A and B are shown apart, each in its own frame.
Chain A
Amino acid sequence: MKWIFFHKLGSPKWFFDISGKFLPWFIVIGISLLVIGSIWGLIFAPKDYQQGDSFRIIYLHVPAAILAQSCYLMMAASALVSLVWKMKLADVFITSAAPLGALFTFLALFTGAVWGKPTWGTWWVWDARLTAMLVLLFLYFGVISLQTAIEDTLLSSKATAILVLVGVVNIPIIKYSVEWWNTLHQPATFKLTEKPAMVPEMWIPLLVMVIGIYCFFSAVVMLRMRNEILMRERKTKWVQRLVSG
């Protein structure tokens, strides 16, 4: 039973059909949560006693940074699947997720810089957390360019999978950079094992934003995967029927 599911999951057509059903929900829920979270964070959350209103950037910065890293972890898991089981869909995921990962890493870096200016007095420091995040951005660029540089699909999926797996060492470095080194960057806002240090009025909208950004990412990654599948499977009957119909 389990293995049937696994093989189905590897079938592009099956994914195309099932993702079409889930997509509208993810788009609607994702965008609603993002709008609710932003309004909540911008207007209703109390201001920080030290940073004043500039702390409201957290509602964009933290979700973007969390997503940027977990997107890479998902790509690494897919890379493993792609190398071991040669599953087409895993490679489709890596291709579709990498530009999004780069986009959200950029957003995390940008909002971090803009937040740093009023808080630390500088846009940028070569601090462990920030540098590791910049490395993540370049890893995403590397994955994107490697995939576009190699024409042969099989070869390029293998090469990118290996690059993604090698680059995964950067993720624990980002995560623990604030603990291993003395940095300007503050420690994690959310920890699974502890209650957040903020008051609920502050962290609930943040949680809404984090869930919202995951739903949004799921929707957009599905959209991109569906495009990628259409292109890769363009010679199959089901795509030709879909295109003509």
Chain B
Amino acid sequence: MNFESFDSFINMGGHGLYVWLSYGVGLCVFVIALTAPLMKRKSIIKELSQLQRRKQRSLSSNENSTGIT
């Protein structure tokens, strides 16, 4: 352990602002990098499955109409 107290850990020998600013932005970058594709995946699956359902509906309605006539 390199620090005597929690305060001295936060203070980083007077460089606290620089160190924590770097690590704060770093954390944001990692979180964005990971969550963006996960959310994108959800929206892609949703979009594609809606598209598929719409296609099937129009297909089955076509069959019905030809079946009647």
Counting CB contacts under 8 A, is A52 at the interface?
Answer: yes
Is the pair A43, B33 in contact by a Cβ cutoff of 8 Å? no
Is the pair A224, B26 in contact by a Cβ cutoff of 8 Å? no
* CB closest residue in chain B, given A45: B2
CB distance from A35 to the nearest CB of B (A): 10
Residue from B9, B26, B29 in contact with A43 in the complex, judged by beta carbons closer than 8 Å: B9
Counting CB contacts under 8 A, is A183 at the interface?
Answer: no
Is the pair A110, B22 in contact by a Cβ cutoff of 8 Å? yes
Counting CB contacts under 8 A, is A54 at the interface?
Answer: yes
Count chain A residues whose beta carbon lies closer than 8 angstroms to a beta carbon of B. 42
**B40 proximity list for chain A (CB < 8 A):** 224, 227
**A27 proximity list for chain B (CB < 8 A):** 34
* CB closest residue in chain A, given B9: A43
**B33 proximity list for chain A (CB < 8 A):** 100, 103, 216, 220
5 tightest Cβ-Cβ pairs between the two chains A and B? A54-B15, A223-B37, A53-B12, A53-B13, A52-B13
Question: Which residues of B approach A to under 8 Å, CB–CB?
Answer: 1-3, 9, 12-16, 18-19, 21-23, 25-26, 29-30, 32-34, 37-38, 40-41, 44-45, 48-49, 51-52
- The contact sample of 5 A-B pairs, CB cut-off 8 A, is A47-B2, A57-B18, A64-B26, A103-B29, A107-B26
Known contacts A52-B13, A54-B18, then 11 further A-B pairs from the complex at CB < 8 Å, ordered by chain A residue? A42-B9, A60-B23, A103-B29, A114-B22, A114-B25, A115-B22, A220-B33, A226-B41, A230-B41, A243-B48, A243-B49
